[in-house]
Amino acid sequence: MAAAVTQPIKVVRDLATVPLRLPLRALESLVGPTRTDLRRQVRRSLGVPADPVTPAMDPGQAFLPPDSAARQVHGDLPSMLIGGLSALLLQSLHPLAMAGVADHSNYRDDAIGRLRRTAAFVGYTTFGTTEEAERAIQQVRSVHQRVRGVAPDGRRYSADDPDLVTWIHVAEMSSFLASCQRFGPRPLSAPEQDAYWADTAVVPRALGAVWVPETADQAAAYLLRVRPDLYAGPQAMAARDFLLRGVGTRPNDRVVYTIIMAAAVTLLPDWARTALRLPVPPLVDPLVITPWARVFCSGIRWVVTPPR
């Protein structure tokens, strides 16, 4: 009688463990097509190029060393998306940089195109060959030469101004790094953070910057120095409103964008959030937004990252 009862239980238990014994390759063959389809949908939904930049295989041809900290940070799509939106909000606080965007950019009409061009530039200068990176840098320099005008506060601006190049770089890299630390696969150590600043310094110098930070401490000191010159004028507030609304129309796209934007706001320094009039509710960031954003990043990371 006991044998009659335990035999079905044993069969059920053995059947339940069959998936656990399937070879990894067999599992990948089952989920691979679905994963590929999801990868296309996610990239289309997020405005990311369908064919990302392929890392240079020959170390001698690579613009940055294959083992650079920049490749580790910039290789994680979800945290880069969050950091990129945070960088746009932070960059808007510089009145001269914001004036150049407002006067010479069609970001309202071609937001996805602008995102793709920015992503391509970061991709080529991080993972591309020296030839690809230098070509991308020259294209940006050519555009910068045409971006000139007068800001609402009466000051003249030029996109190739070395100080503006430094500002855009620091605001962008500090946002990418902050996102990596909070939402990336693993946080970087202090030496790795310094290596990240040293790795990425080559790009703004090639764009015309005279001085750029090469350590985390130098970047923090720079942000303290420029804070008195930063404020949210009408152009910055218009950009903020546009970024908060997003450009997605389908419900699933809007949900994804809302998560990314909420996470991006948490990365801003308190003084930047105050200037942009973005509320800082107590405990909401650490208890609600950050956990949800980490789950989101893990899901996107699994879908987008090709299986080994």
**Cα-trace Rg, the chain:** 23
Classify residue 182: in a domain, yes or no. yes
Q: Write b or e for each residue in 9-34: b if 16 or more Cβ atoms lie within 10 A of its Cβ, otherwise e.
A: eeeeeeeeeeeeeeeeeeeeeeeeee
Q: Which pTM does this prediction carry?
A: 0.83
Residue 240 located in a structural domain: yes
In a domain, 122, yes or no: yes
**Residue 193 within a domain:** yes
- Banded model confidence at residue 54, pLDDT cuts 50, 70, 90: low
DSSP-derived letter for residue 288 is: I
Between 16-25, 182-191, 236-245, 264-273, the lowest mean confidence (pLDDT) is in 16-25
Cα separation, 82 vs 179, whole angstroms:
7
- Residue 228 forms part of a structural domain: yes
C-alpha distance from residue 288 to each of 85, 229, 259, 299, 304 (Å):
19, 33, 11, 17, 24
Q: Do 116 and 48 meet the contact criterion of CB atoms below 8 Å apart?
A: yes
pLDDT at 257 over 50: yes
| Count of structural domains within the chain | 1
- Predicted pLDDT at 140: 97
In a domain, 172, yes or no: yes
Taking alpha carbons only, the member of 63, 210, 34 closest to residue 125 is 63
Q: Which one has a higher pLDDT value, 8 or 104?
A: 104
Predicted pLDDT at 52: 53
Are 38 and 256 a contacting pair, CB within 8 Å? no
- State which residues form the domain around 284: 58-304
